[in-house]
Amino acid sequence: MVGLGSTEDVNNGVYHNGLNGGLEEKVDELRRLFGKVEGDPLRIVGVGAGAWGSVFTAMLQEAYGGLKGKVLIRIWRRPGRTVDRATAKHLFEVINSREDVLRRLIRRCAYLKYVEGRLGDRTLYADEILKDGFCLNMIDTPLCPLKVVTNLQEAVWDADIVINGLPSTETREVFEEINKYWKERITVPVIISLAKGVEAELGPEPRIITPTLMINRATRVPMENILYLGGPNIASEIYNKEYANARICGAEKWRKPLAKFLRQPHFIVWDNGDLVTHEIMGGLKNVYAIGAGMVAALTNESATSKSVYFAHCTSEMIFITHLLAEEPEKLAGPLLADTYVTLLKGRNAWYGQKLANEELSLEMGDSIKGKGMIQGVSAVKAFYELLSQSSLNVLNPEENKHVAPAELCPILKMLYRIMIIREYPALAILEALRDETMNDPRERIEIAQSHVYYRPSLLGQQP
């Protein structure tokens, strides 16, 4: 596999395997699109420093940070969040287990503060350690050092490309704040959203609100300039150069040059024009990942039980996809791949396991220390409440009557009753697998494929 060399190599302008010229060409193409002149760098800002947001920004810094004068890469996170002593102690152990990281910190005169933090003689802050390459949600994976800005106005006011690394639950609020700083802008920025979460808007017509739509409403940046990047990826594995792929979705003007710009030897980026349905599917798989974690914990990692769950949950996802996409078959590969990796190792599956094992409780909320926001929790609520609306009723041929789509999705319904209204314990997820009607999961798929269930209004589109 082709690598980019060490962070020091990249930042010193030394590139291996002939990649230097390719990187400059990709930067120059983007600079031309933004109308950049000599001496005016392309300004890229990551907003939000969770695991994926930090890794994504760090990958760009590692690849392009050495092109001084052409690219300026920064990341914003809120100031003030402290690192507790136990985490500081673990962080110190990680540092000392990695010779390259240890040497780097000593060279930067930053090592002593981690010694003091471990001893409790100094309080470390999340934004402080991020400058040294440590994301609080992923401290076992050291990143390259990042330029961290804690003042939001300073971070975004002149940004050309803004990367939304915020959870969907925080996107609207932060971008409404950003909009205040863009009042006097002449040029229109490009925004790449990494968020995988949704909200439901029930009136006047039921519809799904995605992070890109939240950003559009908050900033009035046209949808042509807002893109979504998603795919089957685990942040720490991608930063460690495990082979991965993703899709950037949106208007052709930006998605094709950005796909080239973001592509690296170990991280292949394709492009696609269908932004909204890809974005929604990214939120949908988080719903079923929580249930997968519950099933794994409750059955002692039974491969048979997990496969039964997979059969049922994928049939529900395919059914829901037919409501949301005119040509749902085109989404099958990306949807199932993203679902597969999330069920294997994602934070939502981890959360489901912890709930089922009673190591976490619902009262603790959906922002978990060391993991960040569990976006599947709000997605369960959004999808169930949306698909429970009588105006969306579909024909259930088994009973020859019209029902809300949620009634044909027993796992989604049970997750809602466990997690949102808290009617049942996690153990009840197993009941959703024991289909007393003896219906094969394929029958749900056949129902979807044999009836015209597509509802463009769910995406805010005209039929």
The separation between CA 217 and the C-alpha centre of its own chain, rounded to angstroms, equals: 20
Asked whether 51 and 235 are in contact (CB, 8 A), the reply is: yes
pLDDT at 12: 38
Residues carrying an active site annotation: 285
Which residue from 62, 88, 48, 73 is spatially nearest to 8, judged by alpha carbons? 62
- Counting every residue written for the chain, the total comes to 463
Asked whether 459 and 277 are in contact (CB, 8 A), the reply is: yes
Helix (H, G, I), strand (E, B) or coil at 437: coil
| DSSP line for 443-457 | HHHHHHHHS----GG
Helix (H) or strand (E) holding 93: helix 85-97
Buried b (16+ CB within 10 A) or exposed e, 275-301: bbbbbbbbbbbbbbbbbbbbbbbbbee
Question: For the purposes of burial, counting CB atoms within 10 Å of the CB of 246, is it exposed (0-12), middle (13-18) or buried (19 or more)?
Answer: buried
The separation between CA 227 and the C-alpha centre of its own chain, rounded to angstroms, equals: 13
Residues 6 or more apart from 31 whose CB is under 8 A from it?
Answer: 42, 70
Residues 6 or more apart from 383 whose CB is under 8 A from it?
Answer: 198, 200, 283, 284, 287, 320, 412
Cα distance from N-terminal residue to C-terminal residue, the chain: 47
Type of residue numbered 15: Y
* CA distances in angstroms from 306 to 63, 116, 294, listed in the order given: 39, 45, 10
Asked whether 461 and 323 are in contact (CB, 8 A), the reply is: no
What CA dihedral angle connects 106, 112, 114 and 120, to 10 degrees? 170
User: In the structure encoding, which two tokens stand for residue 381, read together?
Assistant: 């609520």
pLDDT at 338: 82
pLDDT at 461: 65
pLDDT at 15: 37
Asked whether 429 and 305 are in contact (CB, 8 A), the reply is: no
pLDDT at 321: 87
Per DSSP, 264 falls in state: B
Type of residue numbered 72: L
Asked whether 227 and 190 are in contact (CB, 8 A), the reply is: yes
User: In the structure encoding, which two tokens stand for residue 268, read together?
Assistant: 């292949």
* CA distances in angstroms from 125 to 74, 77, 257, 315, 427, listed in the order given: 18, 11, 37, 45, 39
Q: How far apart are CA 319 and CA 178, in angstroms?
A: 37
pLDDT at 451: 73
Q: How far apart are CA 170 and CA 173, in angstroms?
A: 6
pLDDT tens digits in sequence order for the chain, 463 residues long: 333 344 444 343 333 333 445 899 999 999 999 999 999 999 999 999 999 999 999 999 999 999 989 999 999 999 999 999 999 999 999 999 999 999 999 999 999 999 999 999 999 999 999 999 999 999 999 999 999 999 999 999 999 999 999 999 999 999 999 999 999 899 999 999 999 889 999 988 899 999 999 999 999 999 999 999 998 888 999 999 999 999 999 999 999 999 999 999 999 999 999 888 889 888 999 999 999 999 999 999 999 999 999 989 988 988 898 888 887 777 777 777 888 888 888 899 999 999 999 999 999 999 898 888 899 999 999 999 999 999 888 888 778 888 999 998 999 999 999 999 999 999 999 988 876 655 677 777 777 777 777 888 888 765 4
Q: How far apart are CA 367 and CA 344, in angstroms?
A: 20
- Biggest distance spanned by C-alpha atoms of the chain: 73
Residue 62 sits at the vertex; the CA angle it makes with 41 and 33, to the nearest 5 degrees, is 35
At residue 403, φ and ψ (nearest 5 deg) are -135, 160
**pTM for the model:** 0.89
